[in-house]
Each structure stands twice: as structure tokens, then as C-alpha cells.
């Protein structure tokens, strides 16, 4: 028995040991979460807050109301309502997934990545891992939203070439994209600033510095993990070794050395990179969201799709076939997003969100401003499980916490940052956010393995975030 066979034998034994801990399919898991949400509406007392005529929550107005539990049958019927609520995101996901998935079928990305692996073979995989991580961080800094998870496919292509696991694909694409959206000035912070009534993009330089700190810590962790998996696949966070078998089925162990890369392939890759940068420029400089909403996303990626196919001299039939295949691959992600939105609707119908927020924030008066900021960070992370929406969380928590924070001498900018950290970073570890579960499905990973990978990193984030929050609360950071 050679070394490769010994390794495979160990992998199979490890798979049998770990099999009992394997979580169900992502769709099954979302349905189970829906049923759990139904159970909560029977257990947690219903409560609500009063609202002003312009629909602003009145702080201190919490009161219990008649219980309105949601039974499992009603929950299933609410999927349609969840689909309607999630339709803008789901439609964007399907179109962008179709466009990018179609472009990836041209093999230009495969060819260029293979060429880069050959070129940087002596430098090791770290160069490519860090390169894609930084590119996704750059894109996520300017553009956020669930539709960005389609870039996970790019990570899958790279990590397969490097013989890394599906978690690595998420770590170099989804993780930096959503980390940037969580910490950068134009993501979660912008939403919270709207609810707090402070200038948009205020504290831009400081938030950029915060993002750089988080990105450095995360990049080091990702490189450490990918090196460990590269050296020993059995140390992967994946709960089984099926991914190793699939690697051998779709490619040879050795990278093709004689692959021919044309100038057209480089142009296709350049277009893929330029498309989101164009969106970032349009959104931040030209004000596209105010004029077109998110419709410009479909336009930009649609133009990129057609341009790439014309460059490769493909006809319209080739375009339609490729687009259809891309949509087919991303459909499960759209369904997951619909089910995740349905969970939020179940909790809203059960009228238990007010009770949960009121309970979690009732003892804030006992802390200093610095400790309060940290406590709000933790509370927002917990509450994010129930309301995985930046606007939803800010809309519920900001009116309640703003008066308390003011009495403790905490500035609105610090409060925004605490909610931003909890809501944004928490999104990466909860199963109720459609984008998280959709990205996991796209990478062919599972939630249990993702959590195993994320928990140590999230612990580092909590420490770093707490230090930042305590400092900015102590100095009374205003940001404008």
C-alpha cells in the first residue's frame, strides 16, 4: 500500500467516525429552523412597542399582548410571503448566477488560474489564496448584498485547483466579501447610520481602519487554515472526506503543465474583476442606487456576460445554454434565501421579537459606556439569529438603545458601530441568513463544518471588536 492509498484509507476511517455528526441537507435544515421558529412563538410571550405616526418606535413603551403563535401548517403557507419579501434578492441571485456561471463555463477562469498556479508553484498556494482574499475584500468594501455570494464559484474553481476543501472556497470569497460589508463604511454601518439620524459615511477613515484590522486578523487565520488542509486534508473542517473523492473524479492530482492561455482568457478574467468595480464606482460616485435601485447590477453583469461570449466567439445559442446552466446551479441558493426570509416572517407574526429585545437590553443601565458598547455587540450578535437583516435589526434596536446609550454618555456613532459589529459579523455564523446558507450550498459544504471553521475566528473577532468598541466609547468618538 503506497502513501496515497494509506492517506485515503485514513480518510475513509475518519469519515466513518465523523459521519454521526453530519448535519442534514441545507434545505432540510432551513425547514427545521422554520419549525423551531414556530415553537418559539408558543413559548416566548408576545410583546410589542408603541410607534409614532411616522412609524418610529417609542422607547420604553414595551407591553405584552395576546399570544399569536404560528403553527407549522401556517408556516408552510408563509413561504409564499417569504418569497415575495425575498424576491428582489432572489431575482438578483438568479440573474447574476446565470451570468457569472455562464462566464465560468468558458474555461477562461480555469485556464488563467491553472497558469497562475504553475507560475507561482514555488511560491506556494499562499500567494493565490491571499490574492483572491484581497480581491474579494476590495469588492466587498464597496459593494455588499446577498447577490455577491455568486463569487463563491470562483473560490471553488481556485481551491479545487489547489486541492483545498470547500471551506477554503468560502474562506477566500464569501468570508472577505461579507466581512467587508459588515465592517466597511458603506455596508451595515450605512444602514445603522440612517436609523440613528447621523450623517451617512461619517467616520469613514476610522471605519476603514477598523476594517483593515479585521481583514489582517482574518487573512492570517485563513492562510493558517488553508496551509493546514494543504499539508494534511484530514485536518479539514469538513465532516467527511467526500470532497477529496470528488477532487480526484473531476481532475488529475497533478496540474496540467502544457495548458495554453490566450489573450482572450486574460480579457475575460479582467472583465469579471472590472464588473464589480464598475458597480462600486456607479454606486458610490454616480449615485446609481437612487436612480436604478439594484437594477444596475443585472445590467453590468449582463453586459459583462455578452462581452465575454463575443470575445470567445460564441453564438447566442451558446449564451442561452450557458446562462440556463448558471441559473440551474444557483437555484437552490435562491430557495434557501426565500426560506430564511420566511423564518423572519414567522417570528414577526408571532410578535416575539419585541419581547426578546426588551429582555436582552433591560440591564444596560448597570454598565459603563465602554462595557455597554461591548454588551450591545454581544446582544446584537444573539438577536441577529432571529433578525438577520441589517435594516430590520437597526429598526428594532436603535430606537430602544439610543436613549439608554445617551444617558450613559455613549455617542450615536459608537452605538451604530456596536450594532454594526453584532449584526454584520453575526451574519457569518447564523443559519437563518439566506446568503450564508446559500454560499455554503454553492460551495457544497455544510453548516456544521462552516461553524467548526468559524468559531475560533469569531472568537478573535469578538476580542478585537470589544477592544475597538471599548476604546472608541472611552474617547467619546463622534466621527463627524
Residue 8, pLDDT score: 52
* Grid cell for residue 435: 446568503
Give the pLDDT of residue 107. 77
Question: Which sign does the torsion angle of CA 249, 251, 252, 253 carry?
Answer: negative
Strand bridging mode 47-48 / 63-64: antiparallel
Beta bridge partners of residue 51, listed in sequence order: 57
Cell triple for residue 126? 499562499
pLDDT at 259: 64
The pLDDT of residue 209 is 94
pLDDT for position 407: 60
pLDDT tens track of the chain, all 480 residues? 444 444 555 554 454 344 444 555 667 877 888 898 899 999 999 988 787 776 666 767 788 899 999 999 999 999 999 889 888 878 887 898 888 888 878 878 777 777 776 676 566 678 889 988 988 888 778 766 666 677 788 888 888 888 899 999 999 999 998 898 889 887 677 767 766 777 766 888 898 899 999 999 999 999 999 999 988 988 899 877 788 777 665 554 344 455 677 888 889 888 887 887 787 678 768 878 778 877 888 898 899 999 999 998 888 899 999 999 888 877 887 887 788 788 878 888 998 877 877 776 666 666 777 888 898 898 888 877 766 666 556 666 776 677 667 766 789 999 999 988 988 888 888 887 777 888 898 888 888 899 999 999 999 999 999 999 999 999 999 877
Give the phi and the psi of residue 198 in degrees, each rounded to 5.
-110, 160
Give pTM, 2 decimals.
0.70
pLDDT, residue 174, reads: 92
Q: What is the structure's pLDDT at 459?
A: 95
Amino acid at each position: 500500500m503506497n502513501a496515497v492509498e494509506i492517506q485515503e484509507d485514513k480518510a475513509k476511517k475518519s469519515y466513518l467516525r465523523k459521519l454521526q455528526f453530519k448535519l442534514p441537507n441545507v434545505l432540510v435544515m432551513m425547514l427545521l429552523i422554520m419549525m423551531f421558529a414556530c415553537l418559539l412563538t408558543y413559548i416566548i410571550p408576545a410583546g410589542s412597542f408603541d410607534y409614532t405616526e411616522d412609524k418610529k418606535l417609542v422607547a420604553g413603551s414595551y407591553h405584552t399582548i395576546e399570544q399569536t403563535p404560528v403553527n407549522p401548517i401556517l408556516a408552510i403557507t408563509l413561504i409564499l410571503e417569504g418569497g415575495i419579501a425575498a424576491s428582489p434578492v432572489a431575482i438578483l441571485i438568479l440573474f447574476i448566477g446565470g451570468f457569472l456561471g455562464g462566464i465560468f463555463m468558458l474555461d477562461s477562469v480555469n485556464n488563467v488560474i491553472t497558469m497562475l498556479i504553475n507560475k507561482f508553484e514555488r511560491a506556494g498556494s499562499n500567494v493565490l489564496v491571499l490574492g483572491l482574499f484581497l480581491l474579494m475584500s476590495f469588492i466587498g468594501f464597496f459593494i455588499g448584498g446577498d447577490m455577491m455570494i455568486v463569487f463563491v464559484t470562483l473560490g471553488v474553481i481556485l481551491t479545487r485547483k489547489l486541492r483545498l476543501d470547500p471551506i477554503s472556497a468560502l474562506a477566500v470569497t464569501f468570508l472577505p466579501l461579507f466581512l467587508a460589508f459588515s465592517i466597511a463604511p458603506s455596508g451595515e454601518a450605512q444602514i445603522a447610520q440612517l436609523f440613528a439620524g447621523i450623517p451617512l459615511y461619517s467616520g469613514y477613515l476610522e471605519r476603514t481602519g477598523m476594517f483593515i484590522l479585521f481583514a489582517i486578523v482574518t487573512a492570517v487565520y485563513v492562510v493558517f487554515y488553508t496551509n493546514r488542509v494543504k499539508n494534511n486534508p484530514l485536518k479539514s473542517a469538513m465532516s467527511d472526506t467526500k470532497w477529496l473523492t470528488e477532487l480526484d473524479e473531476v481532475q488529475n492530482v497533478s496540474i496540467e503543465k502544457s495548458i495554453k492561455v490566450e489573450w482572450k482568457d486574460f480579457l475575460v478574467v479582467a472583465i469579471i474583476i472590472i464588473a464589480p468595480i464598475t458597480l462600486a464606482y456607479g454606486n458610490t460616485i454616480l449615485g446609481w442606487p437612487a436612480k436604478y435601485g439594484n437594477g444596475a447590477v443585472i445590467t453590468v453583469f449582463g453586459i459583462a456576460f455578452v462581452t465575454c461570449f463575443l470575445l470567445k466567439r460564441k453564438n447566442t445559442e451558446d449564451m442561452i445554454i450557458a446562462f440556463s446552466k448558471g441559473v440551474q446551479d444557483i437555484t437552490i441558493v435562491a430557495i434557501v434565501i426565500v426560506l430564511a426570509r420566511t423564518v423572519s416572517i414567522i417570528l414577526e407574526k408571532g410578535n416575539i421579537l419585541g419581547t426578546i429585545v426588551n429582555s436582552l437590553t433591560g440591564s444596560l443601565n448597570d454598565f459603563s459606556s465602554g462595557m455597554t458598547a461591548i454588551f450591545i455587540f454581544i446582544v446584537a450578535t444573539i438577536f441577529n439569529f432571529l433578525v438577520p437583516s441589517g435594516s430590520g435589526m437597526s429598526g428594532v434596536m436603535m430606537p430602544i438603545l439610543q436613549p439608554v446609550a445617551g444617558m450613559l454618555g455613549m455617542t450615536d456613532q459608537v452605538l451604530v458601530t456596536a450594532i454594526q459589529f453584532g449584526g454584520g459579523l453575526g451574519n457569518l455564523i447564523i443559519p437563518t441568513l439566506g446568503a450564508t446558507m446559500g454560499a455554503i450550498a454553492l460551495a457544497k459544504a455544510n453548516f456544521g463544518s462552516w461553524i467548526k471553521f468559524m468559531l475560533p475566528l469569531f472568537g478573535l473577532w469578538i476580542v478585537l471588536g470589544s477592544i475597538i468598541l471599548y476604546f472608541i466609547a472611552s474617547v467619546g468618538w463622534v466621527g463627524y
